[in-house]
Amino acid sequence: MRKRVADGHYAPGRLLPSEAELSAEFDASRVTIRRALETLRDDGLIAARQGFGWFVATEPLRQTLGQLQTIEGQMSESGIVAGRRIIEFAFGRATPRVAAALSTDQVLQVKRVNTADGEPFAVVTVWCPAELAQSLSRRDVERSPFYELLGIALRGATQTIGADLVSAADAELLGVPTGSPVLLCERVTTDTDGRPVLYSHHVFPAHRTEFVVELPTAEPSIAPTGLRLLESS
C-alpha cells in the first residue's frame, strides 16, 4: 500500500478500497489491514474521514471567497491542472427554482464534472438565460468558464454554502460513497445592471474542499454579518 501511494497508483485525494476489499486482495485479516492503514496514516500518507473511509492525504482544494473568480483559476495559480467534462448541454424550460433566480423560463443548462490533476472534485450545474447563450456550443463551455463567454460586464455574485449528503448520481461522478458528506454552493451572478445572468449549483466532496473567507475588523456584534439561523419544523 505504501508503494502504491508513493508511485501515484492512487492519486492525491483518491479514496482507497474498503478495508474488506483490501483484506480480500491481500489475504490478510481486517485487524492487520486496519493496523497497516493506521501506520500509513501516522506517516502522513493517508487520512480517514467519517462517511468516506480512507483516502490519500493531500492539501484540500481551497477557494478564497473574496472576489468573483473561479476555483479553477485559483487552482491553476497553485500549479494544479484543472479540467472539466461536460455531462449535459441542453436548451429548455427552466424549473420553478431556476426561473425565479434568473427571471426567465427558457435557459441553457450545462452540467459538468470539474477535475483537479485528473481527479473529480466537483459536480457543477449552470443555468443561463437562453437569449444570452444562443451562440454557445458544448465545446465552448468545455474549454472556458461562462464568465469569459457571455461577453458582458459582471457586477458580482451572491453565494450560499451549505452541507448535505451526496446523491447516488453525483456520488458516481465524484467517485465517493453514496450518502457521504458534501458541501453545496449556490451562486447567482449578476451583470452591472443587477440583472441575474447565471445561476449555478456546485457539489464538492467535504473531505477535500475548503472555503476561505477573510473577515475584516468590524464593530462588536452578537453574530457575524450574513449569518442567519434556519428554523425547521
Say what the pLDDT of residue 35 is: 93
Say what the pLDDT of residue 40 is: 92
Say what the pLDDT of residue 76 is: 74
Mean pLDDT of the chain: 87
pLDDT tens for each residue of 15-67: 888 899 999 999 999 999 999 999 999 998 988 888 788 988 877 777 766 66
- The span from the CA of 221 to the CA of 223, in Å, is 5
User: Above 80 in pLDDT, residue 74?
Assistant: no
pLDDT (mean) for 189-216: 89
Pairing of strands 196-205, 181-191: antiparallel
Say what the pLDDT of residue 225 is: 61
**Looking at the DSSP assignment, which residues form a beta bridge with residue 158?**
188
pLDDT band at 222 (very low <50, low <70, confident <90, very high): low
Q: Quick one: what percent of the chain has pLDDT higher than 90?
A: 50
Say what the pLDDT of residue 229 is: 60
Q: Are 45 and 87 in contact (CB under 8 A)?
A: no
Say what the pLDDT of residue 149 is: 92
Using DSSP's 3-state secondary structure scheme, residue 102 falls into helix
Q: Quick one: what percent of the chain has pLDDT higher than 70?
A: 89
Q: Tell me how crowded residue 175 is: count the other CB atoms within 10 A of its CB.
A: 14
**Is the pTM value of this prediction over 0.85?**
no
Say what the pLDDT of residue 11 is: 78
Which residue in 210, 218, 227, 197 sits closest to 133, CA to CA? 197
Distances (CA, A) of 77 to 102, 118, 204: 31, 16, 20
DSSP string, 150-161: S-S-EEEEEEEE
What lies within 8 Å, CB to CB, of 125 at 6+ separation is 88, 109, 110, 111, 112, 200, 201
Query: Is residue 146 packed enough to be buried (19+ CB in 10 Å), middle (13-18) or exposed (0-12)?
Result: buried
User: Above 60 in pLDDT, residue 233?
Assistant: no
Residue ranges with strand state E in the chain: 46-49, 53-56, 61-64, 82-93, 106-116, 119-129, 154-165, 181-191, 196-205, 209-212
Pairing of strands 106-116, 53-56: unpaired
**Domain architecture of the chain: domains with CATH:** 2-56 (1.10.10.10), 61-212 (3.40.1410.10)
pLDDT tens for each residue of 101-157: 999 999 999 999 999 888 898 999 999 999 999 999 999 999 888 988 988 998 888
Say what the pLDDT of residue 219 is: 66
For the chain, what is the total number of helices (H) and then of strands (E)? 9, 10
